[in-house]
Structure 1
Amino acid sequence: MLKNLKTWVVAIATVSVASVSGVALAKSGNVVSAQWLSDNLGNPDVLLLDASPTTLYVADHIPGAQSVSFRPDENTSLGVNLSYGGGVDYFTDTNAEVPFQELPPEQIEALFQRWGVSPDRTVVVYDQGASMFATRLFYSFYYHGYPTDKLFILDGGLSKWKALGLPVTQDVPPEPKPGTFKVDAVKTDAKASVSEVLAASGDPKRNALVEGLGPDWHFGEALNYDRNGHIPHAKMMPYGTFYNDDKTFKSPEELRKLLGLLDISDEQTIYTHCGGGIAGSVPFFAIKFMAGYDNVKHFPESQLGWLRDDRQLPFWTYDAPYLLRDSQWLNWWGGQRTRTLGSIHTSIVDVRSEQDYLEGHIPFALNIPAQTFGTHLGQPTKLATLLGQAGVNPAHEAVIVSDKGLDKNAALAFVALEAQGQRKVSILTDDLNTWANLGFVLKEEPTVVGKPTVRHDLVIPVVDYQAQARKHVLFDSESTTPSDFPRVYIASGDSLPSNAKALGSTLVHVPYHSLVDENGIPKAAQDIWKTLEKAGVPRFAELITVSEDTGEAAVNYTILKLMGYPSVSLKTL
C-alpha cells in the first residue's frame, strides 16, 4: 500500500510538471529557472521564444527555441545589421512616427499565431541574460492580453542556462504549427503617452518616472538623439540595476529596498521608460511582476517620443536644475514688478558680510551673513528666530546670493535652510557684476523689514518662522537608524580630516573645488558624474559629506543633491 501511495504521489508531481501549472509558477514573479526549463524542454505545452538579436540566436540558442527576430537571410541591408533591438525591431510597427511601437492588434495577432502562440500554452521568453529583449517581448504579450499565469521569462537567460552546463544548438527548429491566440483587447492602462508622462513629470509626489538608462545617457555625455539628457524628474535606474551578478533578477525584497531609497513607493503611479522603450521594459517587469507594485505603466515612446513632440519639451542633464537660478529668473520672480502684483513667493538671502551688502545688493535682498548659518547650524529654534526677524518666509523659495555662485558660504546657507525645513532653497549662480551688466539695479540702502500698511506693500514683513525640520540633512549617529545600504563618508577638503580613521566606515576623497569652477558654477553633469565615479562614490549608498571646514562639506552636499543622489547628509566635525 505504501509503495502504491509513493507511486501515486510521484505520478501527480509528474503530471503537474507536464501540464505546467501557471498558477504555481506565477508565485515566482513570472520567471522560471533554467532547471525548470530543462525539465520541461520538449513539453508541447511549453513554447520557448528567443528574443535576442539574430546574430546571437544564430551563434547558439536553447534547443527548440523559436527566434522572434529577423531570419538570417533578411538581417542585413547594404551591409548594415538590422536586428538592433532584438526581436523588437521585427515585431513592432515600422509605420509609427517613433520606432519600436506596437503593431496594430490584427498584425500582432497574426505574428503571435505564426510563432505558435495559443492561449493554453505556457510561453517562456529569454535572451542572453541581464538584458532587455526578453522583457520587451514579455511586455508585448502582456499588453495584448496574453494571460500572465502562462507568461514567463527564463531567469538568467542563456547565460544561466550555459552556466549549468545545459545544451545549446545552432539548429533552427521547423516552423511551428500555427497558434490560435486572439487579441480580444489591449491593456490600455499598461501604456502611457507623451502627454500623460508630461503631466506625471510635473507631479513627482504622486508619480515616479523610472529611467532604465545609464549615467552616460542620463547626465548628457551621450548624444543619442538631437538633445542629450533625460526627461525632467526621471529617476535613473539603469536596467542592469535589476539583475544579480549571475544575470538573474534581484529578489523582490532587494528591489523594494532600491526603490525605497529613491523614494519610489507603491502608492505612486510609476512610469518606466528609456531611449526607445526597450531598456525601460526591464524596470517595468521587475517593479510590477517581481517587486509586486500595482500601478506601473510603460512608456514605449520614451525619450524618442518626448523629443519629437512639437512642444519642444524640456530635457535636463542635472537631476535638480531648479536648485540653480540666474539673474533673469531672480529679477522677475524676486523683483519689484512681481511684488507689486502681490505675487511674493521668493525670499532673497544675501550671505555676504554686512559691509559688502551695504556697498550694493539686489533689491529686496535680506542680509544674513554666512557666519550666522554656520554658528547656528543644528540649532533650529535659534535659527528660526533669526530668520523670522530678518523677514525670511519659510513658505517661500529662498534664493541664496553670495560672492560667487555656489561657494562655501552659499552652500552653508543652503544646508542650514534645507535642515530648517524651508519649502524650497536655491542658489543664484551669477555674481553681482553679471547682475549689473544685465542692466539690473543694485541698492545700497538696507531692505525695509517691518509691518506692511497697504495691500501689496513692498515692505517685507517680520514672520513667525515655523517649518517642519527635515530629517537626515545633518547626520546624527545617535538618532540614525541602521540602513540597508553602505555608509560612505566623502572627505570634501583638499586633505582628509584629521579624525578620518575614527569615522569607522568607507571614506572617499572628493575635494569640493573639483565639482565647481572658479566662479562657483557647478561643472557639467557628465563631468561631475565622472569625478564622483572615479573617486568611488556609489549611488545606492548612505552618503555623508565631511570636512573640518563645514562650508566645503556643504558644497559637496549641494552638488550631490543637484545630481539626484538619493541619500545625502552632512556631518559636522
Structure 2
Amino acid sequence: MRGTKWMVAVALWAGTTVAAQASPAQFLVSTDWLEKNIGDPKVKVLEVSVDPGVFERGHIQGAANLVWHTDLVDPVRRDIASRDALQAALRKAGVSSGDTVILYGDNNNWFAAWGAWVFDVYQVPNVKLLDGGRKKWEAEKRPLTPLATTAKAGNITLSAANPTLRARLPDVVAAAEKKSSTQLVDIRSADEYSGKVIAPPGVAELAVRAGHVPGAVNVPWSQAVAADGTFKSVEELKKLYGAVGIDGSKPVITYCRIGERSSHTWFALSKLLGYEVRNYDGSWTEYGNAVGVPVANLAGTVWTGK
C-alpha cells in the first residue's frame, strides 16, 4: 500500500500516469546546481518571499518575483489564485510548457513551498525548490542583483485544480472526531500547539480560540531542516515523523496558522517521503474561529490565549 501511495504521489507531481521511483533530486536543486544552470533558457527561477522589499534589494539573476498575497491567492475571497490568474502570472514570468521551474524564498522557503503546493494543485510539472532558499544562497555569498528583468511571455497552460491535494474544514473536523483514518500534523510551535499563544509574536492573523485540533501531533516545521536551511535526509525525516506515528500508512493533513509553514511540511512529507498528504490552508485562523468544532487546549487558556 505504501508503495502504491508513493507511486500515485509521484504521478500527481509529474502530471503523468507513469509511476517511477522518486528521489529528493526530483524535487530539490542545490545552490551549486542553480548557479551553474541560471543561463539555461528552459530553467525559470521564481522568488516567493514574505518580507517586503527582499526581492527588490537583490535576487538571483533572471528570477521573477511572485508576491504571495496577490499572485498566489485570490484578491477578493480567501482562496488560492484562480487557474486563469495563476496562469497569467506564470506566463508573465516567462514560464512555458517544458520548462523546469525553480522556486525559492526567504524564511526557509515557507512561501516558496506554499507556491509549490499551489502549483501542485494546478498540476504544474517540473517544479523544484532551491534547497535552503535565500538563506543558504546568501550565506554562501552567491551573486544577487537588484536589476529587474523583463521576461519574454511564456505559454504554459494550467490544468484544472486538483481538489484531492487540498484539505477543507470538514475534512479536518472528520479527522478530529475520528470519523476518518486521516492523521493530523500541527507544524506550529509548541506554545501555539498547547494554546499558550495563538500566533507567533508580532503576527496579526489571530483566532478566537487557542489550542490545536484534537488528535493532531506536533512536529514544528523547523525540525525538518538542518542549520543551513536545507531539508534533512530522507532517513532523518522518516525517523522524525515516524516517532509520532506518521509513517505513510495513513493519509495525512498538515496545518499551521494560514497554511504557509504547513506547506513546508507538506513538501517534506509528500515530495521527499512520498506520503499521501493534503495541506489545510484554512489552518488555525479558520479552525480556531469556527463554531461547533472541537478544540484541544493544553494550556488552559481557552479564549484568546488568556
Is TM-score (shorter-chain normalized) higher than 0.5? Answer: yes
Q: In the TM superposition, what is the alpha-carbon distance from 1:91 to its structure 2 partner? A: 2.0
The corresponding residue for 1:221 is: 196
1:136 to 103, 114, 117: 114
- Output one character per residue of 1:151-186: Cα deviation in whole Å (capped at 9) or x when no partner: 100001122122333111212222x12211112222
Identity %: 27
Q: 1:184 to 1:306 in 2, by over 3 A?
A: same
The corresponding residue for 2:286 is: 305
Gap regions ≥5 residues in structure 1: 1-22, 70-86, 319-522, 527-573
- Output one character per residue of 1:25-81: Cα deviation in whole Å (capped at 9) or x when no partner: 965150000000011012111100010133221222211111112xxxxxxxxxxxx
- Output one character per residue of 1:391-439: Cα deviation in whole Å (capped at 9) or x when no partner: xxxxxxxxxxxxxxxxxxxxxxxxxxxxxxxxxxxxxxxxxxxxxxxxx
The corresponding residue for 1:368 is: none
1:317 to 297, 303, 306: 297
Bigger radius of gyration, 1 or 2? 1
Distance, in Å, in 2 between the alignment partners of 1:216 and 1:131 is: 22
1:30 to 27, 30, 40: 27
Q: 1:173 to 1:244 in 2, by over 3 A?
A: same
- Output one character per residue of 1:216-245: Cα deviation in whole Å (capped at 9) or x when no partner: 211112233211111222211211111101
Q: 1:186 to 1:110 in 2, by over 3 A?
A: same
Structure with the largest fraction of strand:
1
Over aligned residues, Cα RMSD in angstroms? 2.2
Matches within 5 A, 1:453-464: none
1:202 to 177, 189, 193: 177
Please report the TM-score for the alignment, with normalisation by the length of structure 1.
Answer: 0.46
- Output one character per residue of 1:254-286: Cα deviation in whole Å (capped at 9) or x when no partner: 111011100112111100111111111011000
1:60 to 55, 58, 61: 58
Contact 2:266 2:278 in 1 (8 A): yes
Distance, in Å, in 2 between the alignment partners of 1:205 and 1:257 is: 25
Distance, in Å, in 1 between the alignment partners of 2:229 and 2:105 is: 11
Matched, 1:169 2:145: yes
Distance, in Å, in 2 between the alignment partners of 1:258 and 1:31 is: 20
Q: Which amino acid aligns with 1:168?
A: L
Contact 1:48 1:64 in 2 (8 A): yes
Distance, in Å, in 1 between the alignment partners of 2:192 and 2:286 is: 16
Matches within 5 A, 1:379-398: none
Q: In the TM superposition, what is the alpha-carbon distance from 1:525 to its structure 2 partner? A: 7.9
The corresponding residue for 1:51 is: 48
Q: In the TM superposition, what is the alpha-carbon distance from 1:197 to its structure 2 partner? A: 1.4
| Highest RCO, 1 vs 2 (Cα 8 Å, sep ≥ 6) | 2
Q: 1:107 to 1:245 in 2, by over 3 A?
A: same
Distance, in Å, in 1 between the alignment partners of 2:22 and 2:39 is: 18
Q: 1:47 to 1:131 in 2, by over 3 A?
A: closer
Gap regions ≥5 residues in structure 2: 1-19, 199-205
Distance, in Å, in 2 between the alignment partners of 1:29 and 1:129 is: 22
Q: Which amino acid aligns with 1:153?
A: L
Distance, in Å, in 1 between the alignment partners of 2:197 and 2:155 is: 44
Distance, in Å, in 2 between the alignment partners of 1:184 and 1:312 is: 35
SS at match of 2:260: coil
Q: 1:34 to 1:45 in 2, by over 3 A?
A: same
Distance, in Å, in 1 between the alignment partners of 2:36 and 2:152 is: 22
SS at match of 1:213: coil
Matches within 5 A, 1:36-115: 36-53=33-50, 54-69=52-67, 87-96=68-77, 98=78, 101-115=79-93
Q: In the TM superposition, what is the alpha-carbon distance from 1:191 to its structure 2 partner? A: 0.8
The corresponding residue for 2:237 is: 255
Q: 1:115 to 1:297 in 2, by over 3 A?
A: same
Contact 1:88 1:133 in 2 (8 A): no
Q: 1:109 to 1:121 in 2, by over 3 A?
A: same
Distance, in Å, in 1 between the alignment partners of 2:71 and 2:221 is: 22
Distance, in Å, in 2 between the alignment partners of 1:281 and 1:55 is: 23
- Deviating above 6 A after TM superposition, structure 1's stretches of 4 or more consecutive aligned residues are none
The corresponding residue for 1:549 is: none
Q: 1:227 to 1:165 in 2, by over 3 A?
A: same
Contact 1:281 1:298 in 2 (8 A): yes
Q: Which amino acid aligns with 1:182?
A: T
Q: 1:314 to 1:24 in 2, by over 3 A?
A: closer
Contact 1:129 1:155 in 2 (8 A): no
Q: Which amino acid aligns with 2:261?
A: A
Q: Which amino acid aligns with 2:296?
A: W
Q: In the TM superposition, what is the alpha-carbon distance from 1:200 to its structure 2 partner? A: 1.6
Distance, in Å, in 1 between the alignment partners of 2:26 and 2:218 is: 23
